[in-house]
Amino acid sequence: MCGIAGSYQLDPSRPATGDRIAAALRCIAHRGPDDEGVYTAGRAVLGHRRLSIIDTTSAGHQPFTLRPFDSAQGKPQGDNERYTIVFNGEVFNFQELRAKLEAQGHSFRSTSDTEVALLLFALKGPSFLQDLNGFFALAIHDKEKDELFLARDRFGVKPLLWCEHDGRFLFASEMRALLALGAPRTIDPVSLRMFFTHYYIPAPYSMLRDVHKLKPGHAITISASGTKLERWYNAEEAARATAPAPNTAKHLHELLDDAVRIRLISDVPIGTFLSGGLDSSIISALAKRHKPDLKTFSIGYRDTYYDETPYAEIVAKHLGTEHTTFTLGNEDLAENYHGLLASIDEPFADQSALPSYVLNKLTRAHVIVALSGDGADEVFGGYRKHQAELRVQDPGIVERLALIGAPLWRALPKSRNNALTDRFRQLDRYARTAKLSKEERYLLLASWDDELDAGALVRSGPDDPAFAMRRRTITAPLGEHKDLNGLLWADMHTVLTDDMLYKVDLTSMAHALEVRTPFLDRRVVEFAFSLPAKAKFHKGSGKHLLRAAFGELLPNVTLTRAKRGFEVPLTPLLQGPLRHLVDQCRDPEMLATAGLEPLAVDRLLARFHSADPGSSQATVHALIVYMTWWKAHLT
């Protein structure tokens, strides 16, 4: 894992200058504390911050320039330095690719995956991306053509932002680095409303009007003839082309086992996260096969309602791992809340980012790489909304009673703060969404708070056609796929990339910890989506296929317990030790300047401090995140 930044001079009469690259790299130093490098040639400037994982020697220094190498003499031959790369990520099948290249007579001067990737580009051009099994954001300069090539991995594990401004093309791993390069700082009001609706901003948009996120599976070529954006990977097409297997569960077991195996390749200490849920337990069980001295890590709370560590400890004991549990109180969360706010380079308010931030911080003291269970919910159907959709399509007596009780659920207190009010919240959401269209239901369930509240907070107004257009883009997969796979594809394109994976990158790279996601191995994803949705669901529950494929590895309690989200006791934090942050969001002049409606904010805060705050703590958290970011970067 690393951080990259750079620029390309679009005006040929103006030479490239690296006057701002040092400031940009300082902004992302946390992503790569081990090394720094800058390259300038032609119109291009490339910068890199390195977190050393594979080949930790100076041979893996970036920017990496490809030079013919004489293995007999142990030194480069000639001065042909046509291609130079900055690379953030990992190529997990690099050893296999390297062996094939060596069999063809090619030599290497390092043992890094970056050199393998760059040589493949030199040999095959942009199509080399199809050979890579991994996650990455990269930029390659062709010195001979004076062209710049950028690409992002298939599922968007690694971020890459870009913009064109003042005759330059700018790119970076994080928005703060892009701003240091000179990107304009104008808020996009539609993105602002999207943020307060979903608590993240779906690609290709960002909070700033002129800054774009490169979508997963896309690439950009920048040259004298202009900028060319292309899609290099289509997951749906790849899934349709995947051959069936005679034994579905066995084949999935083999694929995921190999995905874990290649993700354990590392020249630094490595472990796994273990929450006690199905996904991380499967990854830990498979990792234990290949790494007998496996270290596992979990986080819990002194508040037993939110604490799941007993389940993690059951799995750790069952597997025989070297397990570490981090137990937190509200004072620990409050202490780390400020650090999380400082790490957020674009407004992002998924509440689970706080425990993720702390878990990554504490885990980094033990290992430098960790495997996680991220991606399983989107690929195999693990969210409550997936189960709700099944119940809407085939309602039983319980579902009919839930609809009859709609007026009661509406009147009862609803929040995530305890089991009873959370059940009322779920019943109310089911009753409110069951009679909507599939698209309307998905959008409401993908929103954290009442949609009208989000529209009222932002000055753009509730009927903005651009907002409606972006929302239709989110639901497009629902119409393209007739079964529940449409719901999963919608999650893959938006929730996974722009919420879950952004959270993973944000909270791990804040502490220079690399997190790897075996469930997002391309072979696993393509095989899973080659199957009908009914293969993943059984009697109204998701992840049926995972239980069938890996059940023998885990204790029964792990297979049968209900899924819990990575939740946090946010209300007592914001009403207690962090209340000063809430109070700092009351200045009407500042709110209006930031694009918000002061009266709507007053109503939100009054609701939050009332006897029945509902889920308002989530929107209050989003308000704090946005205003903290706005004051740090736009004032």
Question: What letter represents residue 275's amino acid?
Answer: S
Check 2, 27, 163, 585 and give the catalytic one.
Answer: 2
Task: Give ∠ CA 539-412-450 in degrees, rounded to 5.
Answer: 80
| Nearest in space to 619 (alpha carbons), one of 429, 449, 426, 443 | 449
Average pLDDT of adjacent 10-residue blocks, the chain of 635 residues? 93 82 97 94 95 82 79 54 95 96 91 95 96 98 96 98 96 98 96 94 97 98 94 95 91 98 95 96 98 96 82 96 94 95 97 96 98 97 86 79 79 77 82 84 76 72 78 85 86 95 98 98 97 84 91 92 76 94 96 96 93 88 98 94
Determine how many CB atoms are found less than 10 A away from the CB of residue 367: 19
Classify burial at 289, counting beta carbons within 10 Å of its beta carbon; exposed 0-12, middle 13-18, buried 19 or more: middle
Q: Which helix (H) or strand (E) holds 163?
A: strand 161-165
Which DSSP letter does residue 562 get?
Answer: P
- Is 349 strand, coil or helix? coil
Instruction: Please tell me the distance from the alpha carbon of residue 603 to that of residue 586, in angstroms, as a whole number.
Output: 11
What are the beta bridge partners of residue 172?
Answer: 5, 161
Do 103 and 95 contact (CB within 8 A), yes or no? Answer: no
Do 214 and 498 contact (CB within 8 A), yes or no? Answer: no
What are the beta bridge partners of residue 101?
Answer: none
Instruction: Please tell me the distance from the alpha carbon of residue 557 to that of residue 347, in angstroms, as a whole number.
Output: 38
In this structure, the strands spanning 270-273 and 295-301 are: parallel
Instruction: Please tell me the distance from the alpha carbon of residue 422 to that of residue 300, in angstroms, as a whole number.
Output: 19
Instruction: Please tell me the distance from the alpha carbon of residue 321 to that of residue 423, in angstroms, as a whole number.
Output: 35
Instruction: Please tell me the distance from the alpha carbon of residue 501 to that of residue 587, in angstroms, as a whole number.
Output: 33
Instruction: Please tell me the distance from the alpha carbon of residue 264 to that of residue 220, in angstroms, as a whole number.
Output: 31
CA separation, residue 551 to residues 408, 520, 560, 605 (Å) = 39, 20, 10, 46
pLDDT value of position 451: 46
Which DSSP letter does residue 491 get?
Answer: I
Question: What letter represents residue 258's amino acid?
Answer: D
Determine how many CB atoms are found less than 10 A away from the CB of residue 322: 12
Determine how many CB atoms are found less than 10 A away from the CB of residue 102: 12
Instruction: Please tell me the distance from the alpha carbon of residue 246 to that of residue 98, in angstroms, as a whole number.
Output: 32
Q: What tokens appear for 303 in the block?
A: 């508040």
- What crossing angle do the helices spanning 330-343 and 616-633 adopt, rounded to 10°? 40
Which sign does the torsion angle of CA 336, 342, 345, 351 carry?
Answer: positive
Do 85 and 138 contact (CB within 8 A), yes or no? Answer: yes
Do 601 and 586 contact (CB within 8 A), yes or no? Answer: yes
Q: What tokens appear for 582 in the block?
A: 């809430």
CA separation, residue 565 to residues 26, 296, 547 (Å) = 35, 19, 19
In this structure, the strands spanning 64-65 and 83-91 are: antiparallel
Classify burial at 224, counting beta carbons within 10 Å of its beta carbon; exposed 0-12, middle 13-18, buried 19 or more: exposed
Do 76 and 39 contact (CB within 8 A), yes or no? Answer: no
What are the beta bridge partners of residue 139?
Answer: 86, 150
Q: What tokens appear for 471 in the block?
A: 């929302």
Q: Which domains does the chain have, with CATH numbers?
A: 2-233 (3.60.20.10), 237-380+493-560 (3.40.50.620), 569-635 (no CATH)
Is 163 part of the annotated catalytic residue set? no
| Cβ contacts of 115-120, under 8 Å, gap ≥ 24 | 115/60, 115/64, 115/66, 116/91, 117/85, 117/87, 117/91, 118/64, 118/66, 118/83, 118/85, 118/87, 119/66
Residues in the chain: 635
Instruction: Please tell me the distance from the alpha carbon of residue 337 to that of residue 339, in angstroms, as a whole number.
Output: 5
Token pair 């020249």 is found at 267
> CB-side exposure of 173: number of CA atoms within 13 Å?
33
Do 352 and 568 contact (CB within 8 A), yes or no? Answer: yes
Q: What tokens appear for 262 in the block?
A: 């290649």
Instruction: Please tell me the distance from the alpha carbon of residue 272 to that of residue 295, in angstroms, as a whole number.
Output: 7
Instruction: Please tell me the distance from the alpha carbon of residue 350 to that of residue 111, in angstroms, as a whole number.
Output: 38
Which sign does the torsion angle of CA 341, 343, 347, 353 carry?
Answer: negative
Token pair 């919240």 is found at 425
CA separation, residue 129 to residues 1, 253, 326, 411 (Å) = 18, 26, 39, 54
Token pair 């270290």 is found at 295
In this structure, the strands spanning 168-172 and 2-9 are: antiparallel
Instruction: Tell me the Ramachandran region of residue 123: left when phi exceeds 0, alpha when psi lies from -120 to 50, beta otherwise.
Output: alpha
Instruction: Please tell me the distance from the alpha carbon of residue 93 to that of residue 165, in angstroms, as a whole number.
Output: 37
Question: What letter represents residue 69's amino acid?
Answer: F
Token pair 């472990």 is found at 271
Instruction: Please tell me the distance from the alpha carbon of residue 412 to that of residue 410, in angstroms, as a whole number.
Output: 6
- What crossing angle do the helices spanning 330-343 and 502-509 adopt, rounded to 10°? 100
